[in-house]
Amino acid sequence: KDTSGSLQLRFLHFYPSQMKMFEAGNRIRILGEARHNLFAFEMIHPQCKLTKEDDVLPDALTPIYSLVAGVGQKTVKDAIDKLFHHFDLKNYLKDLFLPSVYEKLHLPNLYESIKSIHHPKDFKEAAKHEAFSSMSYQRIIFDEFLAQQLSLRSNYLIRRALTATPFKPTNKLTNIFINKLEFELTEAQKKVIQEIKNDLEKNYPMQRLLQGDVGSGKTVVATIAALQVIENGSQVAFMAPTEILAEQHYHKLYEWLTPLNIKVAWLTGSQSKKDREISLDMTQSGEAQIVVGTHALFQEHVVFKKLGLSIIDEQHRFGVEQRLALRKKGELNKVIEPHQLMMSATPIPRTLSMSYFADLDVSVIDELPKGREAIVTKLFSEDRRDEILKRVHEVCHAGAQVYWVCPLIEESEVLQLQTAEETYSNMQSHFKDLRVGLVHGRMKSLEKQKIMSDFVKGNIQLLVATTVIEVGVDVPNATLMVIENAERMGLSQLHQLRGRVGRGSLKSTCILLFQKKLSELARQRLKVIFENTDGFIIAQEDLNIRGPGEFLGVRQSGVPMLRIANLNRDFKLLEEAKTIADQLLEDYPEASHLHLKRWLSHANERVKV
């Protein structure tokens, strides 16, 4: 207690050493969180230390660290103090690049930045650190972005030094194919086709990411790229993450390319031994000019005679080693690398494109085909189910078709299957006059293929499905989708599912059926999907909600994760890091390598693919 007020110290239990410390006449320094009770300020179980009258207070605030189980504040603080006082941190944390790299951004040196973060001079400085807005934190964030950019860009330059077969476009097959299409290519598609054509003419391997919204026409663009390679006598591998999507691509490519006398082969894990051997022989002999399949394509016994291009759909679902394995399917002597085109049906926000995809050339189809009607999205609570069933009946009797998507049950695929089968049974009982089908992920490939084929032909009016129909399924006559328990699903998945309707010129509706007790996060997601049809806006919101790691499954992809930097908050620093990365690699290769070593703890975090 003094003239400024009083402070009560509360202890719920005492140790003998504490009793001795609090003897009359002792001088004590205390550290803790001050709270205001009804009468005065108080601290509960503060840290206490005996001091002398001539002891000098430290010239910085005492930090409070986030702790892991079993490690106390004192242990962490003592360890960090030892580093500052007994280790040559100043030399260890010396700047690797010239001061001019940082002067433009008014950033302090690394040692002073680290020191300030651990020992802020006052509460004003500490508050800036907490908000990541201090110049010290800005320096750390910039260095982290720079490490990521150097890693990705160095990998980009390494690939530029590899050799690939250049494919000059003859346009013989391409022009016939384009002229036979029942729709006109959009300007965005034409622009992207030209970018890919230019890449395929180069003598180093293309590494391009093709992204666009649901239904923007990525498969057509990929097919035109494939034709440029086939015209030059090489083969194309077309890989998809699921059998349903791979089958969809196979049937579409077969329909498009067989009239051009192009042999399309099909290769998946569930094929009969005989069919598989036929496909393998066609692939090895070169008779198959384009081979469509799942992960079975990159298995060791699959041998291509002359692979010139690999196309990977839904690329984020494949890990680094899988994509790398497909690249190694090039010439037998492994000197020639195939070109690689990756497609993403999940639009990628600009911030992610600049950071996690800095090693790729990126093409964007930002325009939908003409004549497409916007999909109307409606929100219905579970207690309005009868209204929805009535709507389903009306749509089917009007000659259109309906998807009914069963809820996602992450804990158990078996439970999800049971729910789908139960829903299917209920729908059959309720709609005795409708042809109802069921498709789910645990069906055999031929079963799924038959059901989807019947749905495409119109033999099935109402298709009960799990989320296996999320990507790629194309039925223009399907105009209504009902998604049960939509609150359980992520934004990207909801947008992908919704994109299964509205594939033709007919007006389409997606009904999101939700339980009344919604969490704030679920409410936020449903609001975003209800208010937006633009996949890029939805992707940005999804990124804001989930962060980059979950959004892209980046932890599996081999890209260095950001630990301190935040893409949205620190976007300007990302732009600065991206701007200078190539120049630093060229002018200061050794310093760039040391910077990477400092920031990336594992060498294998360098991106391979």
Kindly report, residue by residue over 59-73, the tens digit of the pLDDT: 778 788 887 788 888
Determine contact, residues 316/471, Cβ cutoff 8 Å: no
More confident residue, 356 or 437: 437
More confident residue, 326 or 12: 12
Beta strands in 121-168 (DSSP E): 163-164
- The CATH number for 376-532, chosen from 3.40.50.300, 1.10.760.10, 3.40.50.2300, 3.60.130.10, is 3.40.50.300
Distance between CA 476 and CA 504 in Å, rounded? 4
The letter for the amino acid at 576 is E
The letter for the amino acid at 298 is F
Distance between CA 597 and CA 594 in Å, rounded? 5
Distance between CA 351 and CA 220 in Å, rounded? 27
User: pLDDT tens for residues 541-562?
Assistant: 888 887 776 666 543 445 567 8
User: Euclidean distance between the first and final Cα of the chain, in Å?
Assistant: 66
Beta strands in 111-250 (DSSP E): 163-164, 207-212, 235-239
Average pLDDT value for the chain: 86
pLDDT bracket for residue 318 (50, 70, 90): very low
Residue 597 has pLDDT above 70, yes or no: yes
- Long-range contact pairs involving 189-193 (C-beta distance under 8 Å, separation at least 24): 189/216, 189/217, 189/220, 189/221, 189/365, 189/367, 192/221, 192/363, 192/364, 192/365, 193/221, 193/224, 193/225
**What local confidence, expressed as pLDDT, does residue 380 receive?**
94
**What local confidence, expressed as pLDDT, does residue 194 receive?**
97
Mean pLDDT of 117-137: 91
Distance between CA 121 and CA 118 in Å, rounded? 10
How far is residue 579 CA from its own chain's centroid? 23
More confident residue, 415 or 356: 356
Say which residue the tokens 């910085």 belong to: 60
pLDDT bracket for residue 272 (50, 70, 90): confident
Determine contact, residues 152/607, Cβ cutoff 8 Å: yes
- Mean pLDDT is lowest, of 42-56, 174-188, 244-258, for 42-56
**What local confidence, expressed as pLDDT, does residue 264 receive?**
96
Return the DSSP state at 20: H
Mean pLDDT of 139-168: 92
Mean pLDDT of 475-500: 89
**What local confidence, expressed as pLDDT, does residue 348 receive?**
82
Determine contact, residues 503/477, Cβ cutoff 8 Å: no
Residue 35 has pLDDT above 60, yes or no: yes
Percent of the chain with pLDDT over 90: 44
Domain spanning 132-234+314-320+340-371+569-609, CATH class: alpha beta
Residue 263 has pLDDT above 90, yes or no: yes
More confident residue, 105 or 608: 105
More confident residue, 19 or 331: 19
pLDDT bracket for residue 117 (50, 70, 90): very high
**What local confidence, expressed as pLDDT, does residue 556 receive?**
43
Two tokens at 585?
């690699």
β-sheet bridge partners, residue 235: 307
**What local confidence, expressed as pLDDT, does residue 547 receive?**
74
Mean pLDDT of 205-217: 89
Residue 321 has pLDDT above 70, yes or no: no
Beta-carbon contacts of 427 under 8 Å, excluding residues fewer than 6 positions away, are 404, 434, 436, 462, 464
Two tokens at 258?
């067989």
pLDDT bracket for residue 604 (50, 70, 90): very low
Task: Give the phi and the psi of residue 320 in degrees, each rounded to 5.
Answer: -55, -50
Mean pLDDT of 205-233: 93
User: pLDDT tens for residues 572-581?
Assistant: 999 999 999 9
Distance between CA 236 and CA 234 in Å, rounded? 7
Distance between CA 467 and CA 510 in Å, rounded? 15
Mean pLDDT of 341-357: 84
**What local confidence, expressed as pLDDT, does residue 320 receive?**
47
Instruction: Enter the pTM of the model.
Output: 0.79
**What local confidence, expressed as pLDDT, does residue 233 receive?**
94
pLDDT bracket for residue 493 (50, 70, 90): confident
**Highest mean pLDDT: which range of 198-202, 382-386, 470-474:** 198-202
Mean pLDDT of 167-189: 92
β-sheet bridge partners, residue 238: 292, 311
User: pLDDT tens for residues 285-295?
Assistant: 999 999 999 88
Mean pLDDT of 560-574: 87
Mean pLDDT of 83-106: 90
**What local confidence, expressed as pLDDT, does residue 311 receive?**
94
**What local confidence, expressed as pLDDT, does residue 560 receive?**
61
Mean pLDDT of 157-171: 90
User: pLDDT tens for residues 233-259?
Assistant: 999 999 988 777 888 889 899 999 999
132-234+314-320+340-371+569-609 against 376-532: fold identical = yes
- Mean pLDDT is lowest, of 91-95, 329-333, 430-434, for 329-333
Mean pLDDT of 382-394: 94
pLDDT bracket for residue 417 (50, 70, 90): low
pLDDT bracket for residue 316 (50, 70, 90): low
pLDDT bracket for residue 471 (50, 70, 90): low
More confident residue, 417 or 589: 589
**What local confidence, expressed as pLDDT, does residue 605 receive?**
42
Domain spans of the chain, in order of start: 1-57, 59-130, 132-234+314-320+340-371+569-609, 376-532
* Secondary-structure percent of the chain, ordered helix, strand, coil, rounded to 5: 45, 15, 40
**Highest mean pLDDT: which range of 93-107, 303-317, 559-573:** 93-107
**What local confidence, expressed as pLDDT, does residue 23 receive?**
85
Radius of gyration, CA atoms only, the chain: 30
Quick one: CA torsion of 498, 348, 254, 296, rounded to 10 degrees?
A: -110
Residue 397 has pLDDT above 80, yes or no: yes
